A and B are shown apart, each in its own frame.
Chain A
């Protein structure tokens, strides 16, 4: 592995971790609100959340680009505040966050829906306030689905290509993630270099899936005791 390979890997991991960390609290809150509460506009929000799943990633990337460009609706105020996002690592975080958000929310929502609402009610009766009942009962009981969603989101963040390349470009050493680097190397004829990165991604994917399966196995054993 060359020094460049390592820096590509580290950037990719860092960006994926940051984007998942950013969407985790939001996604869990959204999933709970969708599963347990009725509010006006819920159907619309549901549809909006799922759009990134259906749209081509490049379309999402272009929409974000348009939103964030210097004269864009959001870009203007960001520019005034001196915050630069486009074509930096922050843009990758944003693009991967948007793309992976629905992958987190869907399983998390299903998990919340499958928790018997009488269990947190029982916790209330045993002296917990609403937040404590959520933290001690609802959240742990939904944790399996939330974990599954987090893994999906993380995987998508590791491999996101279309939206990332539009908002962050493909600047080696700055905004070149694993997926971009593999594509880039095959374009310039560095097939061996591309293959090395593929091997690295396979290893990373293997570790993630193995760990997740291990957590699940341990939990099943504990609950059967």
Chain B
């Protein structure tokens, strides 16, 4: 449980966030400059001017009316800022060890952080030689090594070009599943938020514009609508079964019982795949005799027309899908809420994230 009642004057507006989120995994959405980073820094204790009340898991970190203000070193908040803020004078191993509490557990905690984030090959390097995604992983490992009660992640460059960006999300999923550390995750990727979060907080100009379970908040057109950087991938977590050798395809078993045909590659077992909304074709009739391997029946949940384009949200096997079509298509095919449709997706349109 995270209880927030944070007030903090900023240059263009005042942050005034009041929310109680149960978590454990909370996505924070909102356009750039809506106060997301300031909120994270206030929780971490890095904004001395923050007032109000912050409590995490029943422990009060800030209660300005009662004179309670834990210094950052006493908060046990694992903060991963947008620019990673690795210590440039220390190598990766020393960065990860920086906040490691000494004790019999230390070696195990260190090894665990290194193995979850898969940074063992980087340990001897200096931060200046790492790629952006590697820096993020090291920063996340460094935060985990302090055994935080809450992780705060400020994800950078999330959605500009999903195909070529390294992603922190797969690692975050293994942190969620293996360590069970609750987290607050800032992202511009609505699909990611849906896949990873139990709860979503939408900020706009320093205020909470929407809040609630991911499936509800992300249903409407609100989330991400005014965020020019927002991305609307559909993400699927499942178990990968290697297909016969040489076929080039593999089967992703979804928790709900269905399956997707995805390109083979990478180890079997737990896997996350993403597909961009422009790669999801809609058909109003069941299709046979086509080359695309995935034809999935679903039902339209939302249609959000903006200009010449429309984002259509479909509930189908695996959860929420998004398809980007033209506004003309919406009219021609009479795509409306509740209408049954078939999703057509080529195998190669799926990208593996983990």
Q: With a CB–CB cut-off of 8 A, which chain A residues contact B101?
A: 127
CB pair A125–B87 under 8 Å, yes or no, is: no
- Does A128 sit at the interface, judged by CB under 8 A? yes
Q: With a CB–CB cut-off of 8 A, which chain A residues contact B143?
A: 126
- Does B79 sit at the interface, judged by CB under 8 A? yes
CB pair A222–B99 under 8 Å, yes or no, is: no
Partner of A225, one of B88, B89, B124: B124
* Bitwise interface map of A from 135 to 169 toward B, beta carbon under 8 Å scored 1, else 0: 01100110000000000000000000000000000
Nearest A residue to B98, CB-CB: A126
CA distance A116 to B127 in the complex (A): 15
- Does A123 sit at the interface, judged by CB under 8 A? yes
CA distance A119 to B125 in the complex (A): 19
Nearest A residue to B76, CB-CB: A127
* Bitwise interface map of A from 107 to 141 toward B, beta carbon under 8 Å scored 1, else 0: 00000000010110111111111000000110011
Partner of B146, one of A119, A127, A129, A225: A127
Pick the interface stretch among B67-75, B169-177, B259-267. B67-75
- Does A4 sit at the interface, judged by CB under 8 A? no
User: Which residues in chain B, 34-61, are within 8 Å of chain A measured between CB atoms?
Assistant: 44-46
CB pair A225–B126 under 8 Å, yes or no, is: yes
Chain B residue total in the interface (Cβ 8 A): 27
Q: With a CB–CB cut-off of 8 A, which chain A residues contact B91?
A: 225
With both chains docked as a complex, state the minimum distance between the C-beta of A96 and any C-beta of chain B, in angstroms: 31
With both chains docked as a complex, state the minimum distance between the C-beta of A215 and any C-beta of chain B, in angstroms: 14
Nearest B residue to A219, CB-CB: B89
Partner of B79, one of A125, A129, A223: A125
Q: With a CB–CB cut-off of 8 A, which chain A residues contact B81?
A: 118, 122
- Does A224 sit at the interface, judged by CB under 8 A? yes
**Interface SS of chain B:** loop
Q: With a CB–CB cut-off of 8 A, which chain A residues contact B87?
A: 119, 122-123, 137, 141
CB pair A225–B129 under 8 Å, yes or no, is: yes
- Does B222 sit at the interface, judged by CB under 8 A? no
Q: With a CB–CB cut-off of 8 A, which chain B residues contact A128?
A: 73, 99
With both chains docked as a complex, state the minimum distance between the C-beta of B89 and any C-beta of chain A, in angstroms: 5
CB pair B72–A124 under 8 Å, yes or no, is: yes
Please indicate which of the listed interface residues B72, B81, B85 has the most CB atoms of chain A within 10 Å of its own CB.
Answer: B72
Q: With a CB–CB cut-off of 8 A, which chain A residues contact B73?
A: 124-129
CB pair B88–A223 under 8 Å, yes or no, is: yes
A119-B85 CB under 8 A given contacts A125-B73, A126-B146, A127-B99: yes
A121-B46 CB under 8 A given contacts A127-B73, A127-B99: yes
CA distance A137 to B73 in the complex (A): 14
Q: With a CB–CB cut-off of 8 A, which chain A residues contact B88?
A: 141, 223
CA distance A147 to B75 in the complex (A): 35
Q: With a CB–CB cut-off of 8 A, which chain A residues contact B146?
A: 126-127
With both chains docked as a complex, state the minimum distance between the C-beta of B97 and any C-beta of chain A, in angstroms: 10
CA distance A118 to B87 in the complex (A): 10
CA distance A118 to B79 in the complex (A): 12
Q: With a CB–CB cut-off of 8 A, which chain B residues contact A140?
A: 89
Q: With a CB–CB cut-off of 8 A, which chain B residues contact A121?
A: 46, 72
CA distance A124 to B45 in the complex (A): 9
CB pair A123–B45 under 8 Å, yes or no, is: no
With both chains docked as a complex, state the minimum distance between the C-beta of A2 and any C-beta of chain B, in angstroms: 46
CA distance A101 to B56 in the complex (A): 49
CA distance A129 to B143 in the complex (A): 16
CB pair B126–A126 under 8 Å, yes or no, is: no
Q: When A and B form their complex, which 5 residue pairs have the shortest distance between CB atoms, in order from nearest?
A: A126-B99, A124-B72, A125-B72, A122-B85, A127-B99
Name 20 extra pairs, CB < 8 A, besides A126-B99, A141-B89. A116-B85, A119-B85, A121-B72, A122-B81, A124-B71, A125-B77, A125-B79, A126-B146, A127-B73, A127-B99, A127-B101, A128-B73, A141-B87, A141-B88, A222-B126, A224-B126, A225-B91, A225-B124, A225-B125, A225-B126
